[in-house]
Amino acid sequence: MVEPIVRNKDEIVRIKTHIQGFDEKMQGGIPRGHITLIAGSAGTMKSSLSFNILYHEALLNNRVGLYLSLEQSYSSIINHVINMDYDLTKINLVVVRELSQLPQEVEKVNASKKGSLIIVDIGCVRKEIKDVRVDENRSWLNVLKNVVKKIKEQSRLDLFVLDSMSALHTLSKFKNPRIEIFYVFEFLRDLNITSFVLTETPLDGSKIGDFDEDFLSDGIIYIRLTSYRRKQIREISVLKMRTTSCDHDTYSLEFKGGNFVAAYGGQNPLM
Ligand SMILES: Nc1ncnc2c1ncn2[C@@H]1O[C@H](COP(=O)(O)OP(=O)(O)OP(=O)(O)O)[C@@H](O)[C@H]1O
Ligand SMILES: [Mg+2]
């Protein structure tokens, strides 16, 4: 698909991160169609933050999002977000447990007046790989591409979360990861959807991507843990965002009252 060219900067559609105090620091959000890395060490709330984007985009903007986790099962994701007080009855939540049921599940997206969040359970991806066995090394990537492509062809898919690139790399046993990952990004770009690719970084933040995904992506949002007195606090910053004038300040990332909040930019947290 050919990327649209705007005549005026106001025509650039931006997708909010729905982190209070953060979107306004990047001209209102992430340009539609971008591939953004959500990078951070273990437990920095990468998954929760990306779920939060899809949830609010379905709830407020009637958008359709696909959450594909190669790390967590459907039940693990749902238990986590219910514990965070997300009201899933407010959106059209669609779960794909069997890939053979994909057309019927996608129909539920098309039939709903609400925005939708589709979760593909990792169990059915695993089963498909066992059943098909195209090529041991490439099968995870092939199944993933097929699922996203089919959903895009059959519905108005707007947003996609891949959780995570690190898991895809481990599972796929890429022979030449740089080239494979380049083609994953090309594939996502051609679909003309806005993508969030989660990636695990070392605790010391010494590198963002292992295989050039930092160069290939349009944006990088980085979450780190920082010691403050005897606490570990989460901090968030935009390292890169193409087509966007942004503030590269570091904010504390908090989840309170059911919302993500970016606070204390440029200052020590007032704790
Ligand atoms: N209700 C809640 N409010 C605030 N924080 C929560 C809540 N429930 C869980 N958490 C925190 O969320 C963190 C895990 O979030 P999440 O799974 O999104 O992180 P992640 O970066 O994706 O982790 P992983 O590296 O394991 O994939 C936990 O460390 C937990 O303390
Ligand atoms: Mg996670």
64-69: strand order across its sheet? 19-20, 259-263, 251-256, 231-241, 219-228, 35-40, 194-200, 159-163, 64-69, 116-120, 92-96
Query: Which among 47, 54, 86 is the best mutation to test ligand 1's pocket, defined by most ligand atoms within 8 Å of the CB?
Result: 47
Of residues 74, 51, 41, 81, the one with CA closest to residue 224? 41
Distance 35 CA to ligand 1 centre (A): 23
For residue 40, which atom of ligand 1 is closest to its CA?
Answer: 21
* Residue in the block written with tokens 């947003």: 159
Distance 71 CA to ligand 1 centre (A): 13
Architecture of domain 33-235 in CATH? 3-Layer(aba) Sandwich (3.40)
Query: Which among 19, 45, 73 is the best mutation to test ligand 1's pocket, defined by most ligand atoms within 8 Å of the CB?
Result: 45
Distance 196 CA to ligand 2 centre (A): 12
Q: Find all residues with CB under 8 Å of 15, minimum gap 6, and list them.
A: 29, 30, 31, 32, 34, 53, 57, 159, 194
* Residue in the block written with tokens 């051609």: 190
For residue 85, which atom of ligand 1 is closest to its CA?
Answer: 1
Residue ranges lining ligand 1, Cβ < 6 Å: 40, 42-48, 71, 83-84, 200, 255
Q: Do residues 267 and 227 lie in contact, with contact meaning Cβ atoms separated by under 8 Å?
A: no
pLDDT digits (tens, 9 = 90+) for 1-18: 566 789 999 899 999 999
Name the closest-CA residue to atom 5, ligand 1. Answer: 255
Look at residue 234 and tell me whether its pLDDT is greater than 90. Answer: yes
pTM of the predicted model as reported, rounded to 2 decimal places: 0.95
Q: List the chain domain ranges.
A: 33-235
Burial of 154 (0-12, 13-18, 19+ CB in 10 A): middle
Query: Which among 37, 38, 48 is the best mutation to test ligand 1's pocket, defined by most ligand atoms within 8 Å of the CB?
Result: 48
Quote the Cα angle for 204-207-210, to 5°.
135
pLDDT digits (tens, 9 = 90+) for 107-138: 999 999 999 999 999 887 877 777 665 555 56
- Give 249's pLDDT tier (boundaries 50, 70, 90): very high
Q: Quick count: other Cβ atoms within 10 Å of Cβ 29?
A: 22
* Token pair belonging to 54: 């899809």
Q: Find all residues with CB under 8 Å of 54, minimum gap 6, and list them.
A: 65, 66, 67, 117, 159, 161
What is the rounded average pLDDT of the residues 250-256? 96
Provide the pLDDT for residue 270.
56
Provide the pLDDT for residue 29.
98
